[in-house]
Chain A
Amino acid sequence: MDLKEKLISSFYAYEDHLQVTNQVHDVKVQAIKDFETLGFPKKKEEAWKYTSLNKLLKQDYNLFAQVEDALDYKEVKKYFIHEIDTYTIVFVDGVYASQLSSTTHDKIDACLMSSAMEKDKYAHLLEKYFNKIAPKSGLNALNTAFARQGAFINIPKNTVADKPIQIINFSTGKENNLMIQPRNLIVVGENAQVEIIERHQSLSENPVFTNSVTEIFVEKRGMLDFYKIQNDTHQASLIDNTFIEQMADTHCSVHTFSLGGALTRNNLEFYQKGEHSNSTLKGVTLIEGKQHVDHNTLVHHTQPNCESHQDYKGIYDEKSVGVFNGKVLVDKIAQKINAYQSNNNILAHDDATINSKPQLEIFADDVACSHGCTIGQLDEEALFYLKSRGIPAKEARALLTYAFANNVLESVKIGAIKKRINKLIANKLNVNLGFDL
């Protein structure tokens, strides 16, 4: 029985035991039907030209974690951004870990998807937002069908979340080969503001396959900053599907730091549905070994006077493969758009590969859209300059790598994250520069 069949049959076996409102149930049954017809993406599909899931799908996965493992906070503390006070929503093997979490219903809701699905109080929110923007694709449908657990964040009108919110998914891999499908829903009301940090972390050497879907709705004048830290083991694979709908006068930014994982695919899609909205997509990818990172972005400008900025930097060592597939779509009525897309890559090894495809599809004439893409190496002369001033080769390379990635880090608003990323990069490059950049 292949994975697809297994998924479908286990859906029917388990679904009836779940306690969800009828309306959510209907959505899920429809979703599994969609998955049945759509299936997993194939390499023949244009969006998956450079990323094959075959290896991932050949394995057998455990779909439902049996036991809730009690993790010791001390062991996993390092995976938290613990330097600052935050709300945390933690899942272990896809199951909520209450002892590691600190949720809230005070002013804002930062809680569990499952509880939101069960309570009538949130029914109207779910009806309005759940599964509304995720486009119909096999992976999204699969996630919807199995959506059991995840974070539910609701920032009501005129509220600024007092602390950032961390969403962390651990997988212990105590059961072999685990497949988890977190489903997050984030609603930022009018004039509301929130910062969110998301991380997927595997704690074992067993393969983990995460298919995560996050839907984010930002109402008028709302602000959202989303940070994704991807620094997983070489056995963990992640398909992250994030969809953001922006109304008028909103500012949304997503920073993705892809520093590890067997296969990481980021489907990040922005839909601008109101005028004067602003989207920022930034990413740093620094990988080696046989890792594979694929950024697949879409910014859909459907209204006039909007802006979008994309800036993705990648450094690829050894046999790693990097993919950037960015798309800017400007509708006919979306005049006065300012869209910028940039993808810079450094190949640090002869066996590394980079495939880049920055696309523009423009149907409006009064726009300023541009993109740039470069592939190159660290500047030998700059390296020589640093070395001639007594900086060892390794450190000199690290410094230049920092400088290369700095553009993305600069716009990170939470200092603790900046520091953490700098540390992670330093660890990866195996240097200690003795100062924080």
Chain B
Amino acid sequence: MNKFTEDDLREELKTKEYEYGFYTDIESDTFPVGLNEDVVRAISKKKEEPEWMTEWRLEAFRIWREMEEPEWANVKYEKPDFQNISYYSAPNKKPKYESLDEVDPELLDTFKKLGISLDEQKKLAGVAVDVVMDSVSVTTTFKKTLAEKGIIFCSMSEAIQDHPELVRKYIGTVVPKKDNFYAALNSAVFSDGSFCYIPKGVRCPMELSTYFRINQAGTGQFERTLVVADKGSYVSYLEGCTAPQRDENQLHAAVVELIALDDAEIKYSTVQNWYPGNAEGKGGVFNFVTKRGLCETNSKISWTQVETGSAVTWKYPSCVLKGDNSIGEFYSVAVTNNHQQADTGTKMIHLGKNTKSTIISKGISAGQSQNSYRGLVQISKRAENARNFSECDSLLMGNECGAHTFPYIETKNKSAQVEHEATTSKIGEDQIFYCNQRGIDTEKAIALIVNGFSKEVLNKLPMEFAVEAQKLLEISLEGSVG
């Protein structure tokens, strides 16, 4: 085993309380806690939104008020008090730290292990970024290339100002306001998010990533993402990052909508590593996300996710395969350790003819965590020759964790072919023995086996991301066995 202080770090990560002291100085334009119509109006006004947007938010709020918090998920947590949250806080303009030296060394260590460059480290930790630094120049050239192609990639607030016709046309079409409790809440109070539009026939030359945008700090809590790929276009979009995100917001309720028009393709990759709470399961982020994509004729949407963080995850990236010959894919690795709980999966709604979907879900549970896969495959009556293949495998480490599978398969068409298989097992002692015998110590052997187990999914991630994600898996599972 390499000698750098992984054990120490693990101990520290386990025992150390999360430090909330990042900032104490509450800026004057943070709203008082509570939610009512006035707050929604005020958020909208603050962002100088047009009238229709304000109305849209208000309608969502009225719907939300009537709704009840869902309880069907296989997770247990103390429900957040929605009247005890501040729904607007201006982006934090003041950097948190002046230099990297002030940043929590533990965080930096993790960065180092993940192989994140120094500049990115600074950005992620909230260190003041010098204008001449690399990331900025990258961003500038990056923006230029995109503009040349006619690609719009900006924050949601900017999009509402600059491209209201596009936003108005597409927002809420895939995830309607009344879709579910958290989607309604998000629709009413969303702070910001990303907007991306790829024009007809354009192949986006680079991976778009929320990671690169520098004007976007501190908008995480109620994020709203809208990606529209016009006919024949292609885009690969990355969200989140492998670095541990230390956010003081307990509740995250994001909405992501993808729209792939005819012949378009969207690849959406997520790596989520929010603060999972300490080893006793205290604290941690609740991640309640609604993600859904709409596929028109011959289009394709592919979701890839690596979930390692959050105390409670509740997330089902879905595809509505509306157009004929459209394809939906879902690749997921969900790792839970300590007291984490994850209830995640996907929905594949086959409406068009010859639609295809693939689901590969890998769940790894360690410690006292609970990991559930919940998926729906629905073949509607008119979906001739629909095809689905689902595979969900669970790996259990230690005898205090749980793995659960809840697949729903609903078929109304006789030409459908649906296959589902799931397995649950632990890492075989013979596999570990084989590695040991060849001089690989147990911890490395487990990392190796876990990587092999998740490979099908990791392979789907863009390259740099995949390398980081692999390391992330190792770190997340450190100390879980033996």
Contacts and interface: CB of A to CB of B under 8 A. Distances in A.
Interface of A: 46, 50, 332, 335, 345, 347-377
A16 B411 CA distance: 49
B82 interface: no
Given A353-B411, A365-B399, A375-B411, A360 B417 contact: no
A365 B426 CA distance: 6
Contact of B418 (A335, A351, A369, A374): A374
A377 B413 CA distance: 10
B424 A362 contact: yes
Contact of A365 (B379, B398, B417): B398
A400 B406 CA distance: 31
B423 interface: yes
B270 to A, nearest CB: 25
Contacts, number: 121
A36 B417 CA distance: 44
Given A365-B397, A370-B421, A375-B418, A359 B404 contact: yes
B184 interface: no
Contacts of B410: 50, 353-356
B409 interface: yes
Contacts of A46: 72
Given A332-B399, A373-B418, A375-B418, A367 B424 contact: yes
Interface string B414-445: 11111111111110000000000000000000
Given A351-B412, A356-B407, A360-B422, 12 more contacts: A352-B414, A353-B412, A358-B407, A359-B405, A359-B407, A361-B405, A362-B396, A372-B422, A373-B407, A375-B409, A375-B419, A376-B419
B354 to A, nearest CB: 15
A377 B407 contact: no
A369 B396 CA distance: 11
Nearest to B425: A368
A316 B209 CA distance: 47
22 contacts: A335-B399, A350-B413, A355-B408, A356-B407, A356-B411, A357-B406, A358-B420, A359-B406, A360-B394, A360-B403, A360-B404, A362-B424, A364-B399, A365-B396, A365-B399, A366-B426, A367-B396, A370-B421, A370-B424, A373-B407, A373-B421, A375-B411
A347 B381 CA distance: 12
Nearest to A333: B399
B72 A354 contact: no
Nearest to B397: A365
A384 B422 CA distance: 32
Contact of B413 (A347, A367, A373): A347
A362 B399 contact: no
A371 B422 contact: yes
Nearest to A373: B420
Nearest to A322: B411
Most buried by B among A332, A365, A376: A365
B405 A371 contact: yes
Binding site secondary structure of chain B: strand
The DSSP consensus for interface residues of chain A is strand
B462 to A, nearest CB: 32
Contacts of B328: none
B116 to A, nearest CB: 33
A318 to B, nearest CB: 11
Given A359-B406, A365-B426, A347 B411 contact: yes
A264 to B, nearest CB: 19
A22 B394 CA distance: 51
A353 B379 CA distance: 10
A362 B420 contact: no
A379 to B, nearest CB: 11
Contacts of A364: 396, 399
A371 B411 contact: no
Contacts of A372: 419-422
B412 A362 contact: no
Nearest to B72: A46
Nearest to A50: B410
A357 B408 contact: yes
Q: In the complex, which of the residues A361, A367, A374 has the most CB atoms of chain B within 10 Å of its own CB atom?
A: A361
A366 B409 CA distance: 28
B419 A373 contact: yes
Interface centre among A347, A366, A377 (most CB of B within 10 A): A347
Q: Which of B379, B394, B396 has the most CB of A within 10 A?
A: B396
B244 interface: no
B309 interface: no
Interface centre among A350, A357, A360, A374 (most CB of B within 10 A): A360
A14 to B, nearest CB: 39
B340 to A, nearest CB: 15
Given A353-B411, A375-B409, A375-B411, A369 B399 contact: no
Contacts of A354: 409-411
B409 A367 contact: no
B67 to A, nearest CB: 15
Nearest to B384: A350
A362 B395 CA distance: 11
A65 to B, nearest CB: 39
B360 to A, nearest CB: 15
A348 B416 CA distance: 11
B404 A362 contact: yes
A358 B375 CA distance: 11
B414 A362 contact: no
Contacts of B419: 372-376
B134 interface: no
B480 to A, nearest CB: 11
Nearest to B405: A360
A365 B395 CA distance: 8
B402 interface: yes
Nearest to B410: A355
A119 to B, nearest CB: 46
B400 A332 contact: yes
Closest 6 CB pairs of A and B: A365-B396, A347-B414, A375-B418, A373-B420, A356-B409, A370-B423
A375 B410 CA distance: 10
Contacts of B418: 373-376
A376 B381 CA distance: 14
Interface in B251-301: none
B40 interface: no
Contacts of B381: 350-351
A154 to B, nearest CB: 38
Nearest to A49: B408
A147 to B, nearest CB: 33
Contacts of A347: 411, 413-414, 416
A371 B406 CA distance: 11
Contacts of B409: 354-357, 373, 375
Contacts of B414: 347-350, 352, 377
A360 B422 CA distance: 9
A250 to B, nearest CB: 24
B415 to A, nearest CB: 7
B417 A375 contact: yes
Contacts of B171: none
Nearest to A366: B426
Given A354-B411, A362-B402, A369 B425 contact: yes
Given A350-B413, A374-B418, A363 B402 contact: yes
Nearest to A358: B407
B320 interface: no
